[in-house]
């Protein structure tokens, strides 16, 4: 038997060797660069020396906010390095330009004129590094009548129509319960950045990417918008019901609620049989999909009368076993702790010095050949400044002088 150790090389991450300069704050930008970092890119978060990313002070744990390690920051910044740099100082901008020369990607989420006023916009940086992929994320994009307006997720939810189509006749308009426009905008930026890197691999040229939160969220309403644009039908407030089918929505059980999505005819017929109301299959109001949709207010109480006879768990097991899509409605805590989520390792454990072991979201896509995930905790402010600047050729005397002058 051989005593030799296994020398099988570890798989490389998909973006290993890619350097990303992350100039973003709060959520949309950091969410984009988080995914690049989880895919193996070296992401250098460039922050102002005073207090860094605003998200460092956001969250529901005051102690962590005071330490500039707020929960909002911790959630979006695993695998990143922190470099503090005062870009308002001429020497700070010179340091930044040296860093740009070493970078593959730059991501920022300032208003469209900020980088130009600093003298660091894409035309300037492309002269330094023609291979640079520069991604600008903003509320409304770089052009158009609203380009220079300030925007947060709440504003975009309202202007996009998202709030108008959520809720029901009792509660409308209604925002989504999390910053959906910011997160989708971040994913869109990461997606576009990867496409630009692929283009660069083929041609050698970088490019400018213009990502708008408003542009990013609206295609997610594609089905609803298609009904209006093509079918000329205004959105109807459906609450927890699905407008495409019936019964498809949320129903009351003996101990709570259940989601049922009987979108196919055979699934509807199975529901009627399993609930012990087969006569509903031949009721003219419910025989066909379109009729069921028109008469869902009559159908729902008939189904709920049966569903209320047993607990949610009973119906979930019975319906799923008979190929009817259904599921319980879980609290966030129960959702995070369910066996399927644990099996998929959706959350990863990471130790943060001075805070302890945390559970944070890793890479949700499972890449067979180039697996990604959390390799390092979110950084303390300026944790990597000295190492990064030393790598650019600056001496310890330089670093001391920069610190004295509040450049880093």
The residues, any chain, with a CB within 8 Å of residue 7's CB and separated by 6 or more, are: none
How many C-alpha atoms does 152 have within 13 Å on its Cβ side? Answer: 6
CA distance 47 to 60: 22
Give residue 87's region: left, alpha or beta (phi > 0; psi -120 to 50).
alpha
Question: Out of 53, 153, 182, 241, which one is annotated catalytic?
Answer: 182
Q: What angle do CA 255, 258, 263 make, to 5 degrees?
A: 155
108 touches 100 (CB < 8 A)? no
182 is catalytic: yes
SS3 401: helix
Task: For residue 252, give the H/E element and its range.
Answer: strand 248-252
CA dist 205 → 116, 196, 201, 209, 276 (Å): 21, 9, 8, 13, 65
Q: How many residues does the chain have?
A: 408
CA dist 34 → 15, 43, 265, 378 (Å): 12, 8, 42, 10
* Closest C-alpha among 6, 22, 3 to residue 378: 22
Output DSSP code: residue 310. Answer: S
Q: What angle do CA 40, 45, 51 make, to 5 degrees?
A: 150
SS3 320: helix
* Closest C-alpha among 38, 36, 37, 80 to residue 55: 80
304 touches 240 (CB < 8 A)? no
Q: Any idea which residues carry the catalytic annotation?
A: 182
């Amino acid at each position: 038997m051989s005593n030799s150790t296994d020398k099988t090389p570890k798989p490389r991450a998909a973006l290993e060797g890619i350097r990303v300069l992350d100039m973003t704050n709060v959520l949309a930008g950091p969410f984009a660069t988080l995914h690049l970092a989880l895919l193996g890119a070296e992401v250098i978060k460039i922050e102002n020396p005073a207090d860094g990313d605003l998200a460092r002070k956001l969250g529901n744990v005051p102690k962590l906010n005071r330490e500039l390690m707020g929960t909002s920051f911790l959630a979006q910044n695993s695998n990143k390095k922190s470099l503090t740099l005062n870009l308002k100082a001429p020497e700070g901008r010179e340091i930044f330009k040296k860093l740009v020369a070493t970078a593959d990607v730059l991501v920022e989420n300032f208003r469209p004129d900020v980088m130009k006023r600093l003298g660091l916009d894409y035309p300037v940086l492309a002269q330094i590094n023609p291979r640079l992929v520069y991604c600008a994320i903003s509320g409304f994009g770089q052009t158009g009548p609203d380009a220079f307006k300030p925007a947060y997720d709440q504003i975009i939810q309202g202007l996009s129509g998202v709030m108008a189509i959520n809720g029901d006749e009792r509660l409308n308009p209604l925002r989504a319960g999390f910053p959906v426009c910011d997160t989708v905008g971040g994913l869109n930026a990461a997606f576009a950045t990867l496409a630009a890197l692929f283009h660069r691999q083929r041609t050698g040229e970088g490019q400018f990417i213009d990502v708008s939160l408003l542009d990013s969220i609206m295609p997610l309403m594609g089905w609803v918008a298609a009904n209006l644009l093509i079918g000329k039908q205004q959105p109807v407030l459906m609450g927890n019901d699905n407008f495409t089918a019936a019964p498809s929505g949320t129903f009351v059980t003996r101990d709570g609620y259940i989601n049922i999505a009987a979108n196919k005819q055979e699934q509807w017929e199975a529901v009627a049989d399993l609930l012990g109301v087969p006569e509903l299959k031949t009721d003219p109001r419910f025989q066909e999909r379109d009729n069921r949709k028109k008469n869902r207010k009559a159908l729902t109480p008939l189904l709920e009368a049966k569903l209320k006879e047993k607990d949610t768990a009973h119906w979930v097991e019975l319906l799923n076993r008979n190929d009817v899509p259904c599921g319980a409605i879980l609290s966030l805590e129960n959702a995070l702790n369910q066996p399927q989520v644990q099996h998929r390792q959706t959350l990863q454990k990471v130790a943060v010095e001075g805070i302890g072991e945390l559970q944070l979201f890793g890479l949700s896509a499972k890449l067979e050949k180039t697996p990604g995930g959390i390799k390092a905790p979110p950084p303390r402010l300026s944790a990597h400044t000295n190492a990064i600047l030393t790598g650019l050729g600056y001496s310890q005397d330089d670093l001391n002088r920069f610190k004295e002058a509040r450049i880093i």
